[in-house]
Amino acid sequence: MLFRNKKSVPELDKRNIPAHIAVIMDGNGRWAQKRGLPRTAGHSAGSETFQRVAEYLSDLGVQYFTVYAFSTENWKRPPEEVGEIMRLLEKYLHKAIREMRERNIRLRFFGDLSPLSDGMKALIEEANAISETTSGMLVNVCLNYGGRAELTRAARLIAEDCKAGKLSPEDITEDMISRRLYSNGIPDPDLMIRPGGEVRLSNFLLWQNAYTEFYFTDVLWPDMDERQFDLAIAAFQQRKRRYGGI
Ligand code: FPP
């Protein structure tokens, strides 16, 4: 692996590796601009980083890795940039489909996939089918995803059940909401990492991040490496999680 220097990283406690890590892959555009390159070059570098990091986290024993690849708001970007992100996702899907069995990873997609091209939809179906046969780390790619849209969808599904007489409003539980989210069956993130210097959630996993530990860094996403992830996990291991208790 091509990761840079591993100096000065605290030794990780291998018994306390977060089961679920979520990442907002931010800073691709600025990474490219700093180098006098078009923003799309930043997304391309970001896609490489995503694949290297996924491999590293799988080796560490992380069980779930969720990334924010494209938000419901990202359609507002220039069409060339949207097109390039979709092209990179498609390229990744082709590669993943070839390698998922060997690497023993599973893939799942969170978001409204209906506006995607037929080609992308077919690739996603293929990746979903392979995921039935593999058992390793589950990579969740948030694509045309927004936390509010996800919760709105869950509210609609519950309202339909109420309308059909299958459910009474007073019987609605938190668990029923969780089960109607894209993350159904997946434990909530233990650690959410946001590189790129912004300190906000940007509509990412609003329900699931209720008790998640947050780690923010100024490092831009394409520059995130093994060492940066070790630093984030080491910080997580210092935290005392109380879940509202004392
Ligand atoms: C945010 O950086 C990044 C995105 C909106 C796109 C992320 C997409 C990829 C890394 C490529 C494809 C993904 C996969 C999973 C193969 P930004 O553009 O907002 O950066 P900036 O804040 O510096 O402008």
pLDDT (tens, 9 = 90+) of the chain, 246 residues, equals: 445 555 577 899 999 999 999 999 999 999 999 999 999 999 999 999 999 999 999 999 999 999 999 999 999 999 999 999 999 999 999 999 999 999 999 999 999 999 999 999 999 999 999 999 999 999 999 999 999 999 999 999 999 999 999 999 999 999 999 999 999 999 999 999 999 999 999 999 999 999 999 999 999 999 999 999 999 999 999 999 899 998
Lookup: tokens for 44:
């391309």
The answer to pTM > 0.75 is: yes
Q: What is the DSSP letter of 222?
A: G
Which residue's entry shows tokens 């990412």?
204
Which residue is closest in CA terms to ligand 1's atom 22? 27
What is the residue type of 83? G
Measured CA to CA, the distance from residue 128 to residue 108 in angstroms comes to 7
Closest CA to 124 of 102, 137, 142, 104: 142
HSE (side-chain half, CA atoms, 13 Å) at 110 = 31
- State residue 5's pLDDT score: 54
Which residue is closest in CA terms to ligand 1's atom 3? 26
CA 93 to centroid of ligand 1, rounded, Å:
16
* Closest approach atom of ligand 1 to CA 44: 11
SS3 state at 122? helix
- State residue 9's pLDDT score: 78
Lookup: tokens for 78:
């220039």
Lookup: tokens for 237:
């291991």
Measured CA to CA, the distance from residue 3 to residue 39 in angstroms comes to 23
Contact 191, 232 (CB under 8 A): yes
Residue ranges lining ligand 1, Cβ < 6 Å: 25-30, 43, 46-47, 50, 67, 69, 74, 85, 88-89, 92, 141, 196
CA 167 to centroid of ligand 1, rounded, Å:
40
What number of other Cβ atoms are within 10 A of residue 97's Cβ? Answer: 16
Ligand 1 probe mutation, 24, 28, 80, most atoms within 8 A of CB: 28
Strand order from edge to edge, sheet including 20-24: 106-110, 138-145, 64-71, 20-24, 191-194, 213-216
Residue 128: C-alpha distances to residues 102, 163, 182 (Å): 16, 31, 14
- State residue 10's pLDDT score: 82
Domain ranges of the chain: 19-146+188-237
Measured CA to CA, the distance from residue 219 to residue 25 in angstroms comes to 11
- Stated as kind and residue range, the H or E segment containing 65 is strand 64-71
Non-local CB neighbours of 166 within 8 Å, separated by 6+ positions: none
Ligand 1 probe mutation, 23, 24, 25, 66, most atoms within 8 A of CB: 25
* Closest approach atom of ligand 1 to CA 49: 10
- For domain 19-146+188-237, give its CATH number from 3.20.20.70, 3.40.190.10, 3.40.1180.10, 3.75.10.10: 3.40.1180.10
Active site residues: 26, 74
